[in-house]
Amino acid sequence: MKILFILRIEVIPEIGGVERVTYALSDYFRKEGIEISYLYYSIKSTTSTQSHHGIKTYFLPNQENIGSIENQAYISRIIKDNSIDIVINQDGMTGSVSELLRKGLRKTDSKLISTLHRMPHGYKLYRKLFINILKASPSSINVCIKKLIATPLSFVFYHKRYLKYSKLSIKYSHSLVVLSESYIDLMRKILKANKNNIIAIPNPLPFDVTLNRLDLSNKKRQVLFVGRLEYSAKRIDRLIRAWEMIEKEVSDWKLVIVGGDGGDEKEIAQREEFYRLKNLAQSLHLQNVEFVGRQDPQPYYRDSQIFCMTSSYEGFGMVLIEAMQFGVVPMAFGSYPAVFDIIKHEVNGLIIDPFNIEEYANNLKMLICDEEKRRNMAREAIISSKKFSVENIGKQWIELFNELKSQKYDEINK
């Protein structure tokens, strides 16, 4: 079997969740005898030899006009010359890419799978989320009034655009893969159609690691964040403010923030957020907060005992299962449905009401101070993480591949 991944960003595991997912699945598929290729539509070269070792890599010839006839012919030629069985679009909500693939796959036997690596944003859900964020973000009266006026307009614009992209993705794909069972009904409500080609496959663990009790006893007194430093979604400032509330009471513990100081021009926003957060920590006179930039997260997972996520929303929250695999107890706001697929409250982690920073701080302090509870949760976290092993998730993907290969396009899209 031959698989072609359609990608926007280079597959470097340290960059982010989608990249680690692609890397892990590619490695698993190759071990199962599946041939893997990558096609990038927004970069013209790659920098990582490790991520692409033994993998054929292609780049769209016309990246200024994604839907060009030149690009259509290029993709069609790759698929035919290499006898590609399955095309996986890792950026399923980009309308121009969906259109390109629809035309590029014409008169080929290849099947198209589109993936949604974030939470489906229905109008009502997105509005509720935005209002929660607004309530949790103190502003002047003038700013609040402006937001309240602009919010309905932004809802309408966002919803129309998202609905358009969702319809394109589901229409042109043999299967749309979402990250949680709860997202299937959500997508059907957004589309106002009972589509039967939407399926749920969660993200796999990217790391091959086993831990024992000795590993847990050797951990540092360390709280961890790993991820993109992105204000709109990640809101690491909430974590810093929660830490301010308890730092003096847990002075022998440290908060470590991994991510976000890349030098690439495309990462300017992350770099700016990196320094904004550092300045925030300094202005609050915090002594035990360390910013280490983008790093391989594995050593930090091994050393840490608690993992903190304070996101406004996520698609899945891959860093949560990564942390759990290393026996790091996760904490997160219950701000998106898939978090409840991962964390069982007070069993293998903690879920906090969105976006109550004081409650978050109190629970973090409790977890730090209660060693027995923390250790029990850590063991449960390791056990829970095993259902997300790349072997378990990879098998679900291969079952989907085999099902699609055995069906005709018309049968799937009835």
User: What is the structure's pLDDT at 195?
Assistant: 75
Q: How confident is the model over 205-227, as pLDDT tens digits?
A: 988 877 666 578 889 999 999 99
Residue 345: DSSP 8-state: B
Rounded average pLDDT over 77-104: 90
The answer, yes or no, to whether residue 263 has pLDDT greater than 60, is no
Q: Quick check: 197 and 414 in contact, CB under 8 A?
A: no
Cα 185 to Cα 117, 174, 178, distances in angstroms: 16, 18, 11
The answer, yes or no, to whether residue 413 has pLDDT greater than 50, is no
- The rounded distance, in Å, linking the Cα atoms of 14 and 226 is 10
- Whether cis (ω within 30° of 0) applies to the bond prior to 5 is no
- Same fold? 2-118+159-204+390-412, 213-387: yes
- The rounded distance, in Å, linking the Cα atoms of 337 and 316 is 9
Q: How confident is the model over 56-85, as pLDDT tens digits?
A: 999 999 999 999 999 999 999 999 999 999
Q: Where are the domains of the chain?
A: 2-118+159-204+390-412, 213-387
Q: How confident is the model over 118-164, as pLDDT tens digits?
A: 888 654 455 555 555 555 555 555 555 555 555 555 555 555 666 67
User: What is the structure's pLDDT at 96?
Assistant: 84
User: What is the structure's pLDDT at 250?
Assistant: 98
Q: Quick check: 36 and 69 in contact, CB under 8 A?
A: no
Q: Quick check: 92 and 114 in contact, CB under 8 A?
A: yes
Q: Quick check: 3 and 21 in contact, CB under 8 A?
A: no
The token pair that represents 199 in the structure block: 């399926």
Phi first, then psi: give them for residue 34, nearest 5 degrees: -95, 135
User: What is the structure's pLDDT at 269?
Assistant: 80
Q: How confident is the model over 304-352, as pLDDT tens digits?
A: 999 999 999 888 999 999 999 999 999 999 999 999 999 999 999 999 9
What CATH number was assigned to the domain covering residues 2-118+159-204+390-412?
A: 3.40.50.2000
Question: Which residues are registered as beta bridge partners of 409?
Answer: none
User: What is the structure's pLDDT at 220?
Assistant: 97
Largest CA distance in the chain: 66
The answer, yes or no, to whether residue 18 has pLDDT greater than 90, is no
321: alpha, beta or left? (left if phi > 0; alpha if psi -120 to 50): alpha
CATH class of 213-387: alpha beta
For residues 91-115, b (16+ Cβ closer than 10 Å) or e, as one string? bbbbbebbebbbbbbeebebbbbbb
Q: Which of 253, 249, 322 is nearest to 290 (CA)?
A: 253
Q: How confident is the model over 179-201, as pLDDT tens digits?
A: 999 899 888 887 777 778 899 99
The token pair that represents 103 in the structure block: 């035309």
* Residue 358: Cβ within 10 Å count: 10
Q: Which residues contact 30 (CB under 8 A, 6 or more apart)?
A: 36, 54
- Number of C-alpha atoms within 13 angstroms, CB side, residue 310? 27
User: What is the structure's pLDDT at 412?
Assistant: 41
On average, the pLDDT of the chain sits at: 86
Residue type, 193: A
User: What is the structure's pLDDT at 156?
Assistant: 58
3-state SS assignment for residue 235: coil
User: What is the structure's pLDDT at 276?
Assistant: 94
Q: How confident is the model over 342-389, as pLDDT tens digits?
A: 999 999 999 999 999 999 999 999 999 999 999 999 999 999 999 999
> SS3 breakdown of the chain: % helix, strand, coil, rounded to 5?
50, 15, 35
